[in-house]
Structure 1
């Protein structure tokens, strides 16, 4: 997903920061600048509720006349404005390197750097700050020059305080309305992300759109615990997890933002010389904490301002909502998948039930005819062998008569061979082969009936016992047991409560299926791998086939009764019930059979068995 970035890309990060600062005390500006009576002198940690009621609009007054600076400091109500003064353009530019302001009021005629140059420099450092130009020599040319360089408006000296206050409020309102646009865009982008991974991927750039920072950390609660896990970040800063969790706890416990600076007594990042300020937001979903977002700025960058604190609080609320929405989406998708899996299991069970009903009828109808037919073909086979023996004796007798020097004996030998005919031996052999094929066909039908009887529930259930699964798998370890190499990985004994016969039959059917994988019988083909272990507290068997590649659709249909090529017995097609039976036998003993792609390639059959205590 592509997210449009709204940060002023042509400005250095420290110059693109928005207004003001939160610090232990509003620092006195550089040489030539002073903080007025409206500047805050409280502690380093300031909450939104503490900052908003009084002096929430920060104003920078730039004038080379001390009387004019002092007059404005006392004339603008301290309940509304925090006034900081500077004696010229250069002092204002230096001061803007340490903090930001909502509005600046600059004189037009000043030594060193005049008003037009000051407006241009201030707007370059902070494009979000509104600048009002004050002059006693107003003209259309100077007004246009100031507007061209980014001034919001101008006012004549001497000041009309009511008019100045009205102009400041209009400038602040314009600034705040303009700041809502990126907040709205970021909120829309944030709430459009559906998964937690998407939120974490785009969080850095979305936060940077609102509050420029050097680095950030997101701490989220571990499911089922009170521990906060720290999401990975690629900024390369090595920050103590304990320090991050402590700062997050302070924000979460107080349920309001916490700001600390490098000059604070409780500055937690003393070991990281590159950092100068940190701002922690509690993420709340209702009354439940959903984590903490920590923004970090480097040394030399402006400290975090009140307006940034306010925007960040709104963003933190949106972030908490986005994370909760992503969590709910994940739960919903998981439940949908569970429902789909349940539906597939029900469909599979219905199919097997239908096959079982058909099997019960077929078994009943075909068992007796097959028994008679099988007996008849056995008799035919025995008769063919007897005829073949008789024909052999006849040829031997004819040969013996032909050797006698007696015309009568020779004629008798000729008649014996003539009665049989030249194709007698071939016919007798064909009859023998036909009888053998018929018996083999009947045997295969009987096997099919046994499988159908098992699907119908007619086969006996193996008695449940405590079985060492590792020892059971060793039955397939010897050479020649299967037409494909098998490697059973050694393990300590692992026990499960299963029907030994049903488990062996199921494993055998799965292994038979895997032995038919294309290329499985080629020389040098990789071996099947059988592993045993535990998963979710239950004994588990993994059968790994590096050759078998199945699509998702084929994996979903793998345990349905179906027709497949039977290359092993030389037949073209046969009804494959082996995997369907394996699934049925395992299901009725409380085991789960599933198929997943291999870690690198191939396919893995996973059998989760009922648990029992270890030996």
Structure 2
């Protein structure tokens, strides 16, 4: 999935010039991972940290004493090299540097400071302010310039504006990351992009998302894509601490409460609580290596806002998942209702047809049964006639022999074949009428006009075994039911439904030569104490769409009948009959590559007094 709003990596607002090799230079290494002001630093200070660089002790002291301690924490450096050494150990919100310095020029200092910490704003102080000086300051990345000697109130306002600019600038990537995070719709998408989105705001070596178990509420690792082995109990302890305090918790390897003592490579960790409303929703833990700095106040703030958005994104993903499941259930229920309504309509039509056809069917059935009886009588009469003809022929009298010849001509092989064909046709017609009556009866049952037959506790394994020796099937049947499987079903309904399912599997056209010798497997067993019958065909490959509508009554082309159209009711009837007696039928892809019908049956009730 492509994220709609992608938060870019943090970039500097400009590309500062490299410092001259003759003057000061930044230490080697990646400056973006140098330490910012830690939570412990800000807790013991007045607020905004200011690095003052001036070679005049009086000027440094003036700023240190004059700026309100409730607003500013002032740290002094006597020159560019001293400032670089300080910035290698911690970070500052803003720096004030003199344009003239014994060990470097002010412009050079500005370039090095901005190179080491692009987030820090730099203000240049000079006794000789000119437009050329201002342009040079801006060229090297300075935020503003101020005249010396310092006007404290003016300096205070410039410092506050610089910090406000930095704060506003930091909101842009936060906004972009928030848009990207909230555009993710599912939990899997949130987890897939969580690491890179968090990295855009707070640099880290690894992260862990700790979410509570739905049943026990105990925090567990939900996402750990880096493969770093970390003690779960330590992560759980740190995350729980942040949740209980309802605020971020920052620890370093030098602290007494450092929970990752066995892991030598870790140097700092920050745990953010995740909360939805008043309910805790987990914790996001960011980790840094031993050579990396502790987390700064600005990172704490950005991470806190990100964690709030993360908690909201996870909750939104959960709600989306529930909504999708409900929509799927609604669509499935609607589909079931449509299927049931189709068959109910067909059942009501069948009920009317049964009423209209009952007398003609009964009359035709009686007539055919009578014809069958007549055929048997005619066949007996024909055999007797042939016996009489042979007896007459044995008398040797010409008149009797002629009569015998005429009787044998009437009862010859053609007459015998005609009598047998009439008997067979009558029996087939009676069998067809019985099948029509059975189909109409099942349809009437689906219409609701007829009650479902009472269920009984039944061992289904003998029903499956009867299919093993059926000679009229076009496919062999293998039954795997070594033990009794007891279900609470209607025998007649289960038998008719299994007949339809097995007939469907055996009669489905197969394209591979010799495939008809592949057996259809019938298996009965218990699945989590629920009786279940599996009907597996390794050759029946169905698409997902075909599996979803296989039990739907539909008009389809019958290629076996000369490409005619017919109404497919077999599986639809089996499905609805089984549903009405509390069973559940589904078709699934099989491990063999084919398809399997899974029939979950109602559990037999315990015996009285059991």
For the superposition of Structure 1 and Structure 2, which TM-score range results when normalised by the shorter chain? 0.7 to 0.9
Please report how far the alpha carbon of residue 250 of structure 1 lies from its aligned counterpart in structure 2 after TM superposition: 0.6
Once the two structures are superposed, the pairs formed by residues 22-421 of structure 1 within 5 Å of their partners are 22=38, 24=40, 26=41, 41=44, 55-381=46-372, 383=374
Check if 1:475 corresponds to 2:475: no
1:284 & 1:430 partners in 2: Cα distance?
Answer: 84
Please report how far the alpha carbon of residue 251 of structure 1 lies from its aligned counterpart in structure 2 after TM superposition: 0.6
2:406 & 2:476 partners in 1: Cα distance?
Answer: 59
Q: 2:540 aligns with which of 523, 548, 570?
A: 548
Aligned partners of 2:7 and 2:176 also within 8 Å = no
SS in 2 for 1:16: helix
* Structure 1 residues 407 and 350, CA gap change in structure 2 (3 angstroms): same
1:201 & 1:443 partners in 2: Cα distance?
Answer: 62
Describe the superposition over 1:309-360 as per-residue Cα deviations: whole angstroms up to 9, x where unpaired.
1122222111111111111111122222222222223223322322222222
1:365 & 1:105 partners in 2: Cα distance?
Answer: 103
What residue in structure 1 maps to residue 2 of structure 2? 2
Q: 1:20 aligns with which of 17, 27, 36?
A: 36
1:505 & 1:444 partners in 2: Cα distance?
Answer: 11
Aligned partners of 2:93 and 2:163 also within 8 Å = yes
SS in 2 for 1:267: coil
CA RMSD between the two structures: 4.1
Please report how far the alpha carbon of residue 584 of structure 1 lies from its aligned counterpart in structure 2 after TM superposition: 3.2
What residue in structure 1 maps to residue 550 of structure 2? 558
Once the two structures are superposed, the pairs formed by residues 573-584 of structure 1 within 5 Å of their partners are 575-584=567-576
Please report how far the alpha carbon of residue 100 of structure 1 lies from its aligned counterpart in structure 2 after TM superposition: 2.4
Describe the superposition over 1:62-83 as per-residue Cα deviations: whole angstroms up to 9, x where unpaired.
3344444333222221111122
1:372 & 1:136 partners in 2: Cα distance?
Answer: 123
Please report how far the alpha carbon of residue 478 of structure 1 lies from its aligned counterpart in structure 2 after TM superposition: 4.2
2:604 & 2:48 partners in 1: Cα distance?
Answer: 70
1:58 & 1:285 partners in 2: Cα distance?
Answer: 33
What residue in structure 1 maps to residue 24 of structure 2? none
Please report how far the alpha carbon of residue 258 of structure 1 lies from its aligned counterpart in structure 2 after TM superposition: 0.7
* Structure 1 residues 477 and 417, CA gap change in structure 2 (3 angstroms): closer
Report the more deviating stretch, 486-495 or 271-280. 486-495
Please report how far the alpha carbon of residue 267 of structure 1 lies from its aligned counterpart in structure 2 after TM superposition: 0.9
What residue in structure 2 maps to residue 48 of structure 1? none
What residue in structure 2 maps to residue 511 of structure 1? 502
2:382 & 2:305 partners in 1: Cα distance?
Answer: 104
Aligned partners of 1:60 and 1:103 also within 8 Å = yes
Gaps of 5+ in 2: 16-27
Q: 1:611 aligns with which of 598, 603, 607?
A: 603
Please report how far the alpha carbon of residue 280 of structure 1 lies from its aligned counterpart in structure 2 after TM superposition: 0.9
Describe the superposition over 1:164-209 as per-residue Cα deviations: whole angstroms up to 9, x where unpaired.
1111111111111111111111111212222111111111121112
Please report how far the alpha carbon of residue 385 of structure 1 lies from its aligned counterpart in structure 2 after TM superposition: 6.5
* Structure 1 residues 416 and 532, CA gap change in structure 2 (3 angstroms): closer
Aligned partners of 2:34 and 2:89 also within 8 Å = no
Please report how far the alpha carbon of residue 547 of structure 1 lies from its aligned counterpart in structure 2 after TM superposition: 3.1
Once the two structures are superposed, the pairs formed by residues 438-517 of structure 1 within 5 Å of their partners are 438-457=429-448, 461-468=452-459, 471=461, 475=465, 478=468, 480=470, 483-486=474-477, 495-517=486-508
Aligned partners of 1:133 and 1:153 also within 8 Å = yes
Please report how far the alpha carbon of residue 296 of structure 1 lies from its aligned counterpart in structure 2 after TM superposition: 1.2
SS in 2 for 1:163: helix
SS in 2 for 1:515: helix
1:466 & 1:120 partners in 2: Cα distance?
Answer: 88
Please report how far the alpha carbon of residue 294 of structure 1 lies from its aligned counterpart in structure 2 after TM superposition: 0.9
TM-score, L = length of structure 2: 0.82
1:573 & 1:580 partners in 2: Cα distance?
Answer: 17
Please report how far the alpha carbon of residue 133 of structure 1 lies from its aligned counterpart in structure 2 after TM superposition: 1.8
SS in 1 for 2:185: coil
Higher relative contact order (CA 8 A, sep 6+): 1
1:488 & 1:232 partners in 2: Cα distance?
Answer: 45
Please report how far the alpha carbon of residue 237 of structure 1 lies from its aligned counterpart in structure 2 after TM superposition: 1.4
Report the more deviating stretch, 211-220 or 399-408. 399-408
* Structure 1 residues 306 and 522, CA gap change in structure 2 (3 angstroms): same
Aligned partners of 2:273 and 2:307 also within 8 Å = yes
Task: Count the aligned residue pairs.
Answer: 588
Please report how far the alpha carbon of residue 408 of structure 1 lies from its aligned counterpart in structure 2 after TM superposition: 8.0
Describe the superposition over 1:121-165 as per-residue Cα deviations: whole angstroms up to 9, x where unpaired.
222232222111223354544443332222212223222221211
SS in 1 for 2:100: coil
TM-score, L = length of structure 1: 0.82
* Structure 1 residues 400 and 115, CA gap change in structure 2 (3 angstroms): farther
1:77 & 1:461 partners in 2: Cα distance?
Answer: 88
2:113 & 2:148 partners in 1: Cα distance?
Answer: 21
What residue in structure 1 maps to residue 585 of structure 2? 593
* Structure 1 residues 368 and 182, CA gap change in structure 2 (3 angstroms): same
SS in 1 for 2:68: coil
2:242 & 2:557 partners in 1: Cα distance?
Answer: 67
2:74 & 2:517 partners in 1: Cα distance?
Answer: 84
What residue in structure 2 maps to residue 30 of structure 1? none
SS in 1 for 2:101: coil
Describe the superposition over 1:387-444 as per-residue Cα deviations: whole angstroms up to 9, x where unpaired.
6787889899999999999998998899889999998788667656654553443343
SS in 1 for 2:37: coil
Report the more deviating stretch, 587-596 or 417-426. 417-426
SS in 2 for 1:328: helix
